[in-house]
Amino acid sequence: MPQQNPDKLVIGGREFTSRLMVGTGKYASMEQMVRAIEISGAEIITVAVRRVNISDRSKESLLDHIDLKKYTLLPNTAGCYTADDAIRTCRLAREAGLSDFVKLEVLGDEKTLFPDNEELLKAAAVLVKEGFTVLPYTSDDPIVCKKLEDIGCAAVMPLGAPIGSGLGIRNPYNIRIIMDTVKVPVIVDAGVGTASDAAIAMELGCDGILMNTGIAGARNPIAMAEAMNLAVRAGRLAYLAGRIPKKLYATASSPIEGIIA
Amino acid sequence: MSLEIIVNGESRTTTPLSVLDYLRSLEIDPARVAVELNMDILPKGEYASTMLKQGDQLEIVHFVGGG
Write the pLDDT tens digit of every residue in B5-36: 999 999 999 999 999 999 999 999 999 899 99
CA distance A190 to A212: 8
- Write out chain B residues lying below 8 Å of A216, CB-based: 67
Write out the H or E segment, with its range, that includes residue A36: helix A30-40
Confidence check on the interface: ipTM exceeds 0.85, yes or no: yes
Average pLDDT for chain A: 94
Instruction: Mark yes or no for CB contact A63/B62 under 8 Å.
Output: yes
Instruction: Mark yes or no for CB contact B66/A47 under 8 Å.
Output: yes
Average pLDDT score over residue span A139-150: 98
Question: Which residues of A are known to be catalytic?
Answer: 103
Residue of A nearest to B43 (CA): A95
Please indicate if any CB of chain A lies within 8 Å of the CB of B61: yes
Selecting from A26, A96, A210 the residue whose C-beta is nearest the C-beta of B63 gives A96
Instruction: Mark yes or no for CB contact A47/B64 under 8 Å.
Output: yes
pLDDT band with cut points at 50, 70 and 90 for residue A5: low
Instruction: Mark yes or no for CB contact B28/A57 under 8 Å.
Output: yes
- Write out chain B residues lying below 8 Å of A46, CB-based: 66-67
Rounded to two decimals, the pTM is 0.92
Q: What is the pLDDT of residue A209?
A: 98
Instruction: Convert the pLDDT of each residue in A82-114 to its tens digit.
Output: 999 999 999 999 999 878 999 999 999 999 999
- CA-based angle B45:B48:B54, to the nearest 5? 120
Residue ranges in A56-157 assigned as alpha helix (H): 83-97, 117-129, 142-151
Average pLDDT score over residue span A212-219: 97
Contact A146, A140 (CB under 8 A): no
CA distance A92 to A136: 17
- Write out chain A residues lying below 8 Å of B12, CB-based: 54
Contact A126, A152 (CB under 8 A): no
